[in-house]
Copies of this chain bind each other. A is one copy, B any other.
Amino acid sequence: MSSTDKSTSTSTDRCADWIAVDWGTSRMRAWAMTDDGITLASTSSDKGMGSLAPHQFEAALLDAISPWLNPGRTTPVVACGMVGARQGWVEAAYRAVPCAPAGELMSVAVADSRIAVYLCPGLKQQTPADVMRGEETQVAGLLAAHPGFEGVVCLPGTHSKWVRVHEGQLTAFQTFMTGELYALLATQSVLRHSVAAQGWDDAAFAGAIATALQNPADVSGRLFSLRAEALLADLAPQTARARLSGYVIGLELAAARAYWDGQPVAIIGATQLGLHYSQGLQQLGAQSDIHDGEALTLKGLHAAYQQMTGD
């Protein structure tokens, strides 16, 4: 993604029946949709929740979607993600698991009569304490695409989530700060001198996964070794990158063993990262399928839209 305001945009000759929005902390993405779930156009901006005060959300939204609006009618907008957080536009209270992934939408008061805005609520778990905002919509999309899915969903990312699905309900989940930890170590810590921004080493990644699974505590001591090996033995920066990634993903897989052990795993994220999780799981004898995240977000938002309109 570029850092320009609107980084991608496609136009459409007809107005949207409804508009789907994935509004995260750092970015907002929107799609002009038909009632039957066809995408007519899409756009993306860097006006994420984290950069907006509550009174700025409506203008940021209109700035992105106004070309798709019909002045003569009110177009529903269904949004998921951090937009519904306490620090977002309006707080959409968490729903408690166990529950279905999609719940009643939160209506937001807006000034412009061309739009009606609805936010997807996030999910919470009291013990162990945990929360999610946005991932529940992707799980709803997975269930819409694969009715009757039973098993475990893994959503790798800044804050990776593992979710248990049983009889159409999310029954438990756990969040790992793996992506954020990786980014902090690779770009802010002393390891930034030794870890490449690109490149990969499959054997180094697999070795680090094995270390983390066999002796998770060792990871804490292996991190500085990446720096020391760079100083003493010219460790290749792309090898250091793969090893660091393997250590933090391996720690997550070690802690999430109760989720993936003996269960089919659906990984949401058809990205390099999703592939690395899949490789790590395969190394541990677990099978996984990879699903495209954007497609499932759209399916989940479409399911929420249909539920709201009673379709």
Q: Which positions in A face B, CB cutoff 8 Å?
A: 86, 94, 124-126, 128-131, 159, 174-178, 180-181, 184-185, 188-191, 212, 216-225, 227-229, 231-233, 235, 248, 251-252, 254-257
Contacts and interface: CB of A to CB of B under 8 A. Distances in A.
Number of this chain's copies in the assembly equals 2
A144 B216 CA distance: 37
A210 to B, nearest CB: 14
Contacts of A212: 217
Given A125-B228, A130-B225, A184-B184, 9 more contacts: A130-B224, A130-B228, A131-B228, A176-B220, A180-B190, A219-B251, A220-B248, A220-B251, A220-B252
Residue from A130, A191, A252 having most chain B Cβ neighbours under 10 A: A130
Contact of A184 (B126, B185, B252): B185
A34 B186 CA distance: 45
Contacts of A175: 221, 224-225, 228
Contacts of A159: 190, 224
A269 B304 CA distance: 57
Contacts of A129: 225, 228-229, 231-233, 235
A180 B189 contact: yes
